[in-house]
Amino acid sequence: MQQTRISLAHGNGGRLMRELIEELFARHLANPELNLQADAAPLPLGGGELLFTTDGFIVQPLEFPGGDIGSLAIHGTCNDLAVAGAKPEYLALNVFLEEGMAIEQLERLMGSLARTARECEVSVVAGDTKVLPHGEGSGLYLATTGIGIRLPGPPLGMNRIRPGDHLVVSGPVGDHGTAVMLAREQFGLRGDLRSDAASVLPLTRAALAFEGLRFMRDPTRGGLATVCHEIGRETGLDIRLQETRIPVRDPVNAVCEILGYDPLFLACEGRVVAVVAPEQSETLLRRWRSLPQGEEAAIIGEMVTGKGRLLLQTKLGGERLLDELEEDPLPRIC
Amino acid sequence: MQQTRISLAHGNGGRLMRELIEELFARHLANPELNLQADAAPLPLGGGELLFTTDGFIVQPLEFPGGDIGSLAIHGTCNDLAVAGAKPEYLALNVFLEEGMAIEQLERLMGSLARTARECEVSVVAGDTKVLPHGEGSGLYLATTGIGIRLPGPPLGMNRIRPGDHLVVSGPVGDHGTAVMLAREQFGLRGDLRSDAASVLPLTRAALAFEGLRFMRDPTRGGLATVCHEIGRETGLDIRLQETRIPVRDPVNAVCEILGYDPLFLACEGRVVAVVAPEQSETLLRRWRSLPQGEEAAIIGEMVTGKGRLLLQTKLGGERLLDELEEDPLPRIC
């Protein structure tokens, strides 16, 4: 690593964060089960059908249209299990509370977390609470760690992706990132956008019925573009996205234009990107569109022989290379 | 809850923390597998032999004689599985990094964490990193969530504790809390005390051979006295401790006298308290003393019919009631 100190960009899902994880954490922690590219680790316990994942949550503000840190902490970890092909079953919850936090707000957030857990049919069976001195903590950080059981379906992994495979996204991208941004007073913007935070399990369950399904991921930190970069780097194939086909809501585009963000790099918390054999992409699309969570699904691109680049065919007919995220566009949106 | 805001005492392991967990977290999260009195939750997966636990770590300073936040994060969670009668197998790691943290120190701490994981024969198979803005985070917070496999042994639980049962502690109490305190410059004290942070698995494995073993716990936050309060509250039995039999190192007593702390409330990170049938306590004691981790083990008290109180038979022959921890004696020692 070239840096000597941690910067906010080490947390944004882009290049610096990847290097921190690959060159520091993974070097120390290397073991056969640790796969940096996986959303959840398969555990050789109870017949090898268990998957294990964890996620931390530091969103500001703690409550935003369409969700809060409590619902996010359930959806984030359950969705990581879902895209790995599992049904979430059990969660452990870590709470880091700031001294001085209003217990009334904590009640509200834990109520939301508990309600979301019930909706997702997962049980929080272990927990721990630490209290941080006033001035640290921004109120509340959460971490949730989940165990899921693998559902029947084809084997999934980036190593199964082939040239010609199609990319399908389950709905508009960037709603979550934009909604959180608008909820921050600092930007002086208003809008009625809501976070897309939701369980993706109905979508992943449906996709698992397709033998041609290769891989799924929820585009959270770093957004759709970052998922594509991960796929490109791992497969060595280029990804060609059709800009006109990527669903982005008008208000998301409007806010991004004002603030200079690219919606392709903004977090979603209730979307799935699937890579699927080309002959099955239309059927998967129809299946997803028949679900309330997938009404605006779209086939957005394809894998092509190349060298791991992300290429965007623009509205105007040109082709643009999208680089990996370097600077931090939006810290603390998940 | 009577309070309207979170205070540091909500994190100290005492009464306020218990009320926060019982009256807020547990009320929202109630489910059949959530047992507030358990160190680890049994999961009905793979034959019901899996145990699941989590712990957060906010110690200051991050490095102290005998350990650091990295080794602590492994021992803390592995020990919770060990006292529940399991062998730790897999861990998930959450890292909350502060912007500006020196990567050199992060290297050192992750090296320590990884080394400790190897010593404990656990694999870190899932992880997540978030970066907090400068001024939050005190450098680094960690959370580790562990999965263990139940070892052969008698069923364990506070509900198995009977009047007459003996309490055995595996070594001197308060070393960890005192060592961390001395490592803080603010107290202006020096000493050569080291944290007792270590794996208790050799001790718990040995204890599981005893059919009369009822229950084990590692006295971390809130110390030995807090474990006794938990047992008293749950069983409705009194606990009578013999002050002269409780091993406490001289420098621990000395520091506690100067600063006004009670070593019985200070955290240990490598000790076990076992409750065992009276006819087996001497054999368990000999077994533990034959291990390097248990050389200074001692039988320190017994369970008696009563009303859930913790009674200390003092050096002078009197009896003193030890109340539950209310104020915060030492925040951030684990």
Same domain, A130 and A164: no
- Distance of alpha carbon B141 from alpha carbon A46, whole angstroms: 32
The contacts of residue A250 (CB under 8 Å, 6+ apart) are none
pLDDT (0 to 100) of residue B170:
98
pLDDT (0 to 100) of residue A64:
94
**Residue, of A111 and A40, whose pLDDT is higher:** A111
- Distance of alpha carbon A83 from alpha carbon A93, whole angstroms: 20
Average pLDDT over residues B35-64: 86
**Residue B31 and residue A123 in contact, taking contact as beta carbons nearer than 8 Å:** yes
pLDDT (0 to 100) of residue B331:
63
ipTM over 0.90: yes
Amino acid, single-letter form, for residue B134: H
| CATH code of the domain in which A124 resides | 3.30.1330.10
In a domain, B68, yes or no: yes
Q: Among the listed ranges A72-76, A96-100, A141-145, which one has the minimum average pLDDT value? A: A96-100
Same domain, A237 and A298: yes
Q: What percent of chain A has pLDDT over 90?
A: 72
Per DSSP, what are the bridge partners of residue A321? A311
When CB atoms are compared, the residue of A90, A93, A95 closest to B43 is A90
In a domain, B306, yes or no: yes
Q: Is the pLDDT of residue A48 over 80?
A: no
pLDDT (0 to 100) of residue A40:
85
| CATH code of the domain in which B259 resides | 3.90.650.10
Per DSSP, what are the bridge partners of residue B50? B43, B149
Which among B67, B19, B11 is positioned nearest to A137, based on CA atoms?
B11
Last residue of a domain, one of A97, A123, A150: A150
pLDDT (0 to 100) of residue B274:
98
- Distance of alpha carbon A81 from alpha carbon A150, whole angstroms: 9
Same domain, B44 and B99: yes
In a domain, A210, yes or no: yes
In a domain, B253, yes or no: yes
Last residue of a domain, one of B150, B168, B201: B150
Same domain, B70 and B144: yes
* Ramachandran category for residue A274: left, alpha or beta (phi over 0 → left; psi -120 to 50 → alpha): beta
Helices (H), chain A: 15-20, 26-29, 69-83, 103-119, 175-182, 201-207, 223-235, 250-259, 281-289
Q: Which residue of A has its CA nearest to B46?
A: A46
pLDDT (0 to 100) of residue B11:
81
Amino acid, single-letter form, for residue B19: E
pLDDT (0 to 100) of residue B236:
97
Q: Which residue of A has its CA nearest to B60?
A: A132
For residue A141, which residues of chain B lie inside 8 Å, CB to CB?
96, 130, 132, 141
Average pLDDT over residues A151-170: 96
**Residue B223 and residue B178 in contact, taking contact as beta carbons nearer than 8 Å:** no
Q: Is the pLDDT of residue B330 over 80?
A: no
Mind telling me how many Å the CA of A306 is from chain B's nearest CA? 30
Q: Among the listed ranges A142-151, B24-33, B55-64, which one has the minimum average pLDDT value? A: B24-33
pLDDT (0 to 100) of residue B322:
93
* DSSP letter string, A91-108: EEEEEEEETT-BHHHHHH
* Ramachandran category for residue B215: left, alpha or beta (phi over 0 → left; psi -120 to 50 → alpha): beta
- Distance of alpha carbon B149 from alpha carbon B152, whole angstroms: 10
Same domain, A179 and A73: no
Reduced to 3 states (helix: H, G, I; strand: E, B; else coil), residue A303 is: strand
Q: Among the listed ranges A47-56, B58-67, B231-240, which one has the minimum average pLDDT value? A: A47-56
In a domain, B58, yes or no: yes
Q: Is the pLDDT of residue A328 over 70?
A: no
**Residue B159 and residue B208 in contact, taking contact as beta carbons nearer than 8 Å:** no
Average pLDDT over residues B105-118: 95
Same domain, A169 and A308: yes
Reduced to 3 states (helix: H, G, I; strand: E, B; else coil), residue B91 is: strand
Q: Is the pLDDT of residue A329 over 60?
A: no
**Residue A45 and residue B148 in contact, taking contact as beta carbons nearer than 8 Å:** no
pLDDT (0 to 100) of residue B48:
63
Same domain, A196 and A263: yes
pLDDT (0 to 100) of residue B33:
73
Q: Is the pLDDT of residue A179 over 90?
A: yes
Question: Tokens 């009625």 map to which residue?
Answer: A192
pLDDT tens string B289-304: 999 999 999 999 999 9
Q: Is the pLDDT of residue B328 over 80?
A: no
**Residue B242 and residue B34 in contact, taking contact as beta carbons nearer than 8 Å:** no
Which among B313, B302, B305, B282 is positioned nearest to B166, based on CA atoms?
B302
Same domain, B52 and B181: no
pLDDT (0 to 100) of residue A170:
98
Average pLDDT over residues B121-142: 89
* Ramachandran category for residue A48: left, alpha or beta (phi over 0 → left; psi -120 to 50 → alpha): left
Residue A333's pLDDT band, with cuts at 50, 70 and 90, is: confident
Host domain of residue B59: 8-150
For residue A8, which residues of chain B lie inside 8 Å, CB to CB?
99, 131, 133
Residue A302's pLDDT band, with cuts at 50, 70 and 90, is: very high
pLDDT (0 to 100) of residue B207:
98
Average pLDDT over residues A279-286: 98
Spell out where B223-296 has E strands.
238-242, 273-276
Residue B325's pLDDT band, with cuts at 50, 70 and 90, is: confident
- Distance of alpha carbon B331 from alpha carbon A281, whole angstroms: 55
Same domain, A253 and A166: yes
Same domain, B237 and B290: yes
Same domain, A192 and A313: yes
- Distance of alpha carbon A237 from alpha carbon B212, whole angstroms: 62
How many interchain CB pairs under 8 A, A with B? 267
In a domain, B329, yes or no: no
Mind telling me how many Å the CA of B145 is from chain A's nearest CA? 7
pLDDT (0 to 100) of residue A8:
83
Tokens of A299: 């086939």
Which burial class, exposed, middle or buried, applies to A155 when counting CB atoms under 10 A from its CB (0-12, 13-18, 19+)?
Answer: exposed
3-state secondary structure A232-248: HHHHCCEEEEEHHHCCC
For residue A29, which residues of chain B lie inside 8 Å, CB to CB?
93, 110, 113-114, 117, 124, 127
Which among B150, B140, B176 is positioned nearest to B334, based on CA atoms?
B176
Q: Among the listed ranges A28-37, A189-198, B91-100, B212-221, which one has the minimum average pLDDT value? A: A28-37
Tokens of A83: 């895209």
pLDDT (0 to 100) of residue B76:
97
In a domain, B327, yes or no: no
**Residue, of B57 and B324, whose pLDDT is higher:** B57
Q: Please give the helix or strand (H or E) that residue A66 lies within, else none.
A: none
Reduced to 3 states (helix: H, G, I; strand: E, B; else coil), residue A275 is: strand
Same domain, A185 and A274: yes
pLDDT (0 to 100) of residue A332:
75
When CB atoms are compared, the residue of B41, B58, B332 closest to A125 is B41
Residue B47's pLDDT band, with cuts at 50, 70 and 90, is: low
Mean pLDDT of chain B: 91
**Residue B328 and residue B9 in contact, taking contact as beta carbons nearer than 8 Å:** yes
pLDDT tens string A202-255: 999 999 999 999 999 999 989 999 999 999 999 999 999 999 999 999 999 999
Residue B23 phi/psi, 5-degree rounding, is: -95, -15
pLDDT tens string B253-269: 999 998 888 999 999 99
Q: Among the listed ranges A120-129, A176-185, A231-240, B147-156, which one has the minimum average pLDDT value? A: A176-185
pLDDT tens string B62-91: 999 999 999 999 999 999 999 999 999 999
Q: Which residue of B has its CA nearest to A106?
A: B24
Average pLDDT over residues A178-202: 86
Answer yes or no: do B4 and A55 touch at CB < 8 A: no
Last residue of a domain, one of A150, A173, A208: A150
- Total length of chain A: 334
In a domain, A2, yes or no: no
Helices A175-182/A250-259 angle, 10° precision? 60
The contacts of residue A80 (CB under 8 Å, 6+ apart) are A39, A40, A53, A55, A146, A218
When CB atoms are compared, the residue of A50, A94, A129 closest to B45 is A50
Which among B113, B90, B55, B76 is positioned nearest to B271, based on CA atoms?
B76
Which among A50, A35, A117 is positioned nearest to A78, based on CA atoms?
A117
Tokens of A161: 């992706």
- Distance of alpha carbon A12 from alpha carbon B322, whole angstroms: 49
Answer yes or no: do B46 and A41 touch at CB < 8 A: no
Query: How do beta strands B86-98 and B123-132 pair?
Result: parallel
Q: Which residue of B has its CA nearest to A118?
A: B29
Q: Among the listed ranges A41-50, A88-97, A281-290, B127-136, which one has the minimum average pLDDT value? A: A41-50
Q: Is the pLDDT of residue B37 over 80?
A: no
Residue A44's pLDDT band, with cuts at 50, 70 and 90, is: confident
Cα-atom radius of gyration of chain B, to the nearest Å? 19
- Distance of alpha carbon A299 from alpha carbon A297, whole angstroms: 7
pLDDT (0 to 100) of residue A47:
67
Q: Is the pLDDT of residue B329 over 70?
A: no
Question: Tokens 């007792």 map to which residue?
Answer: B196
Residue B46 phi/psi, 5-degree rounding, is: 55, 40
Tokens of B284: 């368990």
The domain total for chain B is 2
